[in-house]
């Protein structure tokens, strides 16, 4: 996409009303802008159907509760808003962003209990997140920032504030010519990329980090089910950084990333092999079924 997202044409659903794209604004003193009191979902529509849409809407509501922020819309109402947004913009294949946040209100300190919780849905056409990496394999840096302890942040929430270190890590990776960065957790175990979960292959078996301090992605769960349906042994466990040298294949999963093979992480190289290609193809078929 060329130009600013703020300058696109179309409609954005805000608090029950479709608003012209460039008028979908909030006040400077919106609480979320100052204190990160917001949660969101990233989803993709294929052929007019949002893949696992209800799971995303359920997680949005759950994320709000993790932040002590009750979202005043039901799953059914959020689903209806998403499809209304797609229709208003004439989209069938699109990225869908649902966002809930504490708006401007009576509170402007850390506390925000008296401020309204607002909801918006936007949708736009969006291609491959990592460009041509699906055929060539993405190149990842290794981030200096680590996913925090569960005692420091509600990792089960898809909360905006948790992505600050992801943004910094991705910026540093892009400055080195990489597509993304692999993040370790607070203990030093392999965790995830900045916005995607990670899988590895060794001797025909799959290894993936235990999501005990980072988001257990919906796409991750889908791919785990696909692997088990194929009778492929999966190990969900803690993975040490030095194990990267012994893995043969690697891929990322996420709504934006879909299933993207990885060719390199730091100094470690991986084959864009048969299993990675098969999982990517099977996922593409599933979401369009």
pLDDT tens column, 19-74: 999 999 999 999 999 999 999 999 999 999 999 999 999 999 999 999 999 999 99
CA distance 93 to 287: 11
SS3 73: coil
The 10s digit of each residue's pLDDT in 85-105 is 999 999 999 999 999 999 999
Which residues fall within 8 angstroms of residue 163, CB to CB, at 6 or more apart?
194, 195
**Do residues 107 and 115 make contact, with C-beta atoms less than 8 angstroms apart?**
yes
Considering the chain, tell me which residue range(s) the CATH 3.20.10.10 domain(s) occupy. 133-287
Q: What's this model's pTM, rounded to 2 decimal places?
A: 0.96
CA distance 129 to 120: 22
For 229, other C-beta atoms within 10 Å of its C-beta total 9
Which residues fall within 8 angstroms of residue 156, CB to CB, at 6 or more apart?
62, 63, 66, 215, 216
User: What is the average pLDDT across 11-26?
Assistant: 98
Which residues fall within 8 angstroms of residue 165, CB to CB, at 6 or more apart?
143, 145, 146, 147, 183
For the question of residue 158 being annotated catalytic, the response is: yes
Catalytic residue chosen out of the listed positions 144, 158, 202, 233: 158
Percentages helix, strand, coil for the chain (3-state, rounded to 5) are 30, 30, 40
What would be the CATH architecture of the domain defined by 133-287?
Answer: Alpha-Beta Barrel (3.20)
Q: Torsion-angle region of residue 26: left (phi > 0), alpha (psi -120 to 50) or beta?
A: beta
User: What is the average pLDDT across 151-176?
Assistant: 97
User: What is the average pLDDT across 206-228?
Assistant: 98
Average pLDDT, the chain: 96
- Residue listed under structure tokens 């390199």: 264
Q: Which residues pair with 100 in a beta bridge?
A: 39, 119
Positive or negative: CA dihedral 102, 68, 37, 106: positive
**Percent of the chain scored above 70 by pLDDT?**
99
pLDDT band with cut points at 50, 70 and 90 for residue 274: very high
Q: Is 35 exposed, middle or buried (0-12, 13-18, 19+ CB in 10 A)?
A: middle
Fold designation for 5-124: D-amino Acid Aminotransferase; Chain A, domain 1 (3.30.470)
**Percent of the chain scored above 90 by pLDDT?**
95
Q: CA Rg, the chain, in Å?
A: 19
């Amino acid at each position: 996409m060329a130009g600013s997202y703020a300058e696109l044409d179309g409609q954005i659903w805000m608090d029950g009303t479709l608003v012209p794209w460039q008028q979908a604004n909030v006040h400077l003193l919106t609480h979320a802008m100052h204190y990160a009191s917001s949660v969101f979902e990233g989803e993709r529509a294929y052929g007019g159907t949002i893949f696992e849409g209800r799971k995303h809407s359920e997680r949005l509501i759950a994320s709000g509760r993790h932040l002590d922020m009750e979202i005043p819309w039901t799953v059914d109402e959020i689903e209806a808003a998403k499809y209304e947004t797609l229709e208003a913009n004439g989209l069938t294949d699109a990225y869908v962003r649902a966002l809930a946040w504490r708006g401007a209100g009576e509170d402007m300190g850390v506390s925000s209990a008296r401020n309204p919780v607002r909801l918006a849905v936007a949708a736009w056409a969006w291609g491959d997140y990592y460009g041509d990496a699906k055929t060539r394999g993405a190149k990842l840096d290794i981030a200096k920032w680590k996913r925090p302890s569960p005692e420091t942040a509600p990792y089960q929430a898809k909360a905006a504030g948790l992505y600050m270190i992801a943004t910094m890590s991705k910026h540093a990776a892009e400055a080195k010519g990489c597509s993304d960065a692999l993040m370790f957790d607070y203990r030093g175990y392999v965790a995830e990329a900045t916005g995607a979960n990670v899988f590895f292959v060794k001797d025909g078996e799959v290894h993936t980090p235990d999501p005990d301090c980072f988001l257990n992605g919906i796409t991750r769960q889908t791919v785990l089910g696909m692997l088990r349906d194929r009778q492929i042994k999966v190990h969900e466990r803690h993975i040490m950084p030095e194990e990267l040298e012994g893995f043969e294949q690697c891929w990322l999963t996420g709504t934006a990333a879909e299933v993207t093979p990885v060719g390199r992480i730091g100094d470690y190289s991986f084959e864009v092999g048969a299993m990675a290609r098969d999982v990517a193809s099977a996922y593409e078929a599933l979401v369009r079924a």
